[in-house]
Copies of this chain bind each other. A is one copy, B any other.
Amino acid sequence: MTSTALEVRLASRPQGWPTEDNFEIAEVEIPTPAEGQVLVRNVVMSVDPYMRGRMNDVKSYVPPFQVGQPLEGGAVGEIVAVGEGVTTLAVGDNVLHGLGWRDYAVVPAAHTVKVDPNVAPLSAYLGVLGMPGLTAYAGLLATAEFKPGDVVFVSGAAGAVGQLVGQIARLKGASRVIGSAGSPEKVKYLTEELGFDAAFNYKDGPVAEQLAAAAPNGIDVYFDNVGGEHLEAAISSLNVHGRVAICGAIAQYNDTEPPAAPRNLVQVIAKRLTLRGLLVGDHKDLQQQFISEVGAWIASGELKYSETIVEGGTRQAPSAFLGMLRGDNKGKMLVQF
């Protein structure tokens, strides 16, 4: 074990789209775990859309990243040292924790969750069986109040959350599942591999027209990962008593001007629509049900997932993050150390 390691710090706050210049790779001493802490060598880390929000200096549901300080985010690693008083974890254990963006992390043992590489690959705990998976599951079933027979539309459908939303809807009895994505390859993946009934490339033409063609009888549920034009189109296609889970607005995260909100919002009245914001932290009560149900579908092969893994660890994390914002990934975007 070398005595120094790398971490990614926020060098400056981006205006609009972030660039490599907003990040700094710093070399630091590998710390020693204090009482109650463990030292984790990260194996795989997550880059997520919500992290873009934390790069701004605004109050939100998570505090902003600080300039000059390392970034944070979900990661899975192997324990290489334990501090005094740690009895529940041992060297060699794998844990899920919140300090990615660095080679080595010192974490309170109580802030880790032990994971078993024999049950699922370590990366799955950051994706299909992790936060994005629960987001999809709780967002569709609780936030959007999905019912069998619903026509479901999901944007960002080839992403970490979207690919699960569509498949869970299919497995739960949706009458039709429609997805949008940003490349022909992703569209093909949705219909040919994940069992979506229809999919379209939002870059091919107006979303409203493509959605109307894909959903001739309208939609009942919209799971919104992107905001903007997609949300406006969905409002136009929604049937009476339709529901929207607003999970993300990746199309707007880099806007420097106020976004163009849906101009047809008044349709919410005539159609008695429900639009509801979704944060996974509200839905811990569904965690066990989610793990058992989705875990079984993965085991049986009824539910598939893809990951986009970038090699190179800490040094490659910024470019992986930027690629995820551009939509380079299919499914969960991860950085392997």
- Residue numbers of A with Cβ under 8 A of B are 60-61, 227, 231, 246-249, 252, 258-279, 282
Which one of B61, B248, B272 lies within 8 Å of A282 (CB-CB)?
B272
Which one of B249, B259, B265, B268 lies within 8 Å of A269 (CB-CB)?
B249
The secondary structure that dominates the A interface is: loop
A-B contact pairs, 22 of them (CB 8 A): A60-B270, A227-B265, A227-B266, A231-B265, A247-B269, A248-B269, A249-B266, A258-B264, A259-B266, A261-B261, A261-B262, A261-B263, A262-B265, A267-B277, A268-B275, A269-B277, A270-B277, A272-B276, A272-B277, A273-B276, A274-B277, A275-B276
> How far in angstroms is the closest Cβ of chain B from A286?
15
Q: Is A261 a contact partner of B272 (Cβ separation < 8 A)?
A: no
The residues of B that contact A259 with a CB separation of less than 8 Å are 263, 265-266
Q: How many copies altogether?
A: 2
Q: Which 9 A-B pairs have the closest CB atoms?
A: A261-B261, A258-B263, A268-B277, A269-B277, A275-B275, A272-B277, A274-B276, A261-B265, A61-B270
Q: Is B268 a contact partner of A276 (Cβ separation < 8 A)?
A: yes
Q: Is B279 a contact partner of A269 (Cβ separation < 8 A)?
A: yes
Q: Is B270 a contact partner of A279 (Cβ separation < 8 A)?
A: yes
Q: Is B278 a contact partner of A272 (Cβ separation < 8 A)?
A: yes
Q: Is A274 a contact partner of B272 (Cβ separation < 8 A)?
A: no
Find the B residue at minimum CB distance from A143.
B272
The residues of B that contact A60 with a CB separation of less than 8 Å are 270
The residues of B that contact A247 with a CB separation of less than 8 Å are 269
* Of listed A246, A247, A259, A269, residue having the most chain B CB within 10 A: A269
> How far in angstroms is the closest Cβ of chain B from A50?
9
Find the B residue at minimum CB distance from A274.
B276
Question: A79 to B333, alpha carbons, bound, how many Å?
Answer: 72
